[in-house]
Amino acid sequence: MPRPVPTTTLAGVEIFEGYLDRDTQEALVSDLRDVVAQAPLFAPKTRFGKEMSVRMTSAGRYGWFTDACGYRYIDAHPSGTSWPPIPKRILGIWRALASKEREPDCCLINFYGETAKMGLHQDRDEADFGWPVLSISLGDEALFRVGGTERGGKTQSIWLRSGDVVVMGGAARLVYHGIDRIKFGTSPLLSQGGRINLTLRVVD
Ligand code: MD6
Ligand code: FE
């Protein structure tokens, strides 16, 4: 299969709008319920001591974590249990759009409730920026802001919807990006509302 063409490109960030159909989205939610049953969502604190508004957990060899010691990858859930494997269906999306050469080491799962957001950041806790980062949006719409590789540059925004996939690679691997807000209740996928974002990365 040739690689699909992005429907939109924003500062080099590729967006595949509507890439996942509704059945696939539902199957992913079911996969994630199994992951969260083994590795429950938690609300991490940044190194500044502030609790993040998203709740998170991970699957894979590594999970992303933050506390007073800073941002890093850790090899077990904070409870001590190992991170569950990344569901096969998620690896298939990575293979189709990100890389057939290597599988991701981490699938970070972020859950956004009604008031959650994510400040502008770069994904730079990985060893090799030659590998892309892929993200999957499920549930409510979210306003995604993309800037350049320097903080304070001009930014552009796009609404991400359930089933959209984003790939940040090449010259766009280190662009600043964040979620300004979600539009709660805009998707029927999650019965209680909210949004899930999955980010897949090669870590080391
Ligand atoms: C989000 N996304 O969509 C936040 N990071 O909730 C990210 O932080 C992100 O979409 C790296 C690559 C793609 C992304
Ligand atoms: Fe990110």
Residue 5: count of CB within 10 angstroms of its CB: 8
CATH number assigned to the domain comprising residue 173:
2.60.120.590
Domain-located, residue 3: no
Residue 102 Cα to ligand 1 middle (Å): 20
Report how many domains make up the chain.
1
Q: Write down the number of H helices and E strands in the chain.
A: 2, 13
Domain-located, residue 64: yes
Domain-located, residue 1: no
**pTM above 0.85?**
yes
* Site to substitute for ligand 1 among 108, 111, 135, most atoms within 8 A of C-beta: 135
Residue 178 Cα to ligand 2 middle (Å): 7
Domain-located, residue 94: yes
Give the tokens for residue 184: 């709660």
Domain-located, residue 139: yes
Buried/exposed 76-86: b ≥16 CB within 10 Å, e otherwise: ebeeeeebbeb
Residue 188: count of CB within 10 angstroms of its CB: 11
* Site to substitute for ligand 1 among 71, 133, 162, most atoms within 8 A of C-beta: 133
- C-alpha distances in Å from residue 23, one per residue of 20, 30, 92, 100, 199: 8, 11, 15, 24, 20
pLDDT in tens, the chain (204 residues): 899 999 999 999 999 999 999 999 999 999 999 999 999 999 999 989 999 999 999 999 999 999 999 999 999 999 999 999 999 999 999 999 999 999 999 999 999 999 999 999 999 999 999 999 999 999 999 999 999 999 999 999 999 999 999 999 999 999 999 999 999 999 999 999 999 999 999 999
Establish whether residue 172 lines the binding site of ligand 1, counting it when its CB lies within 6 angstroms of any ligand atom: no
> Residue 131: phi, psi to the nearest 5?
-90, 140
Residue 178 Cα to ligand 1 middle (Å): 7
DSSP-based three-state secondary structure for 11: coil
The whole domain housing 60 covers 8-201
pLDDT of residue 188: 98
